[in-house]
C-alpha cells in the first residue's frame, strides 16, 4: 500500500520507492523502517520520521512509495 494511505503514527517498512534520486540522498530506501508522523490536509505532503529526523514528502511521490505495516 502507498505510504500516503496510512494513518498518523503508523510504523511501516518501505517495500519499494520510485526512481527519484532525492529520496536516496535523504536516506529513504527499500527495507528501512519509518513512521508516518503527519499528513497535511487537502492533498498536502506527509511527514515521515526516520530515527530522529522528520522528512516531508509530497503527495505524488508518497503515493509511489509502497510500504508494509509493521
The domain limits of the chain are 3-69
Q: What is the pLDDT of residues 1-53, one digit of tens each?
A: 999 999 999 999 999 999 988 898 899 999 999 999 999 888 889 999 999 99
C-beta separation of 14 from 67 below 8 A: yes
Q: Residue 63, SS3?
A: coil
* CATH 2.30.30.90 is right for the domain spanning 3-69: yes
Among 60, 58, 6, 56, residue whose Cα is nearest residue 14? 6
Q: Residue 70, SS3?
A: coil
pLDDT at residue 65 is higher than 90? yes
Cell of 1: 500500500
User: What does pTM read for this prediction?
Assistant: 0.90
Amino acid at each position: 500500500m502507498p505510504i500516503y494511505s496510512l494513518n498518523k503514527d503508523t510504523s511501516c517498512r518501505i517495500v519499494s520507492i520510485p526512481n527519484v534520486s532525492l529520496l536516496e540522498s535523504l536516506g529513504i530506501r527499500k527495507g528501512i523502517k519509518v513512521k508516518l508522523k503527519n499528513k497535511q490536509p487537502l492533498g498536502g505532503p506527509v511527514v515521515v520520521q526516520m530515527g530522529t529526523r522528520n522528512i516531508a514528502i509530497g503527495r505524488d511521490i508518497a503515493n509511489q512509495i509502497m510500504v508494509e505495516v509493521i
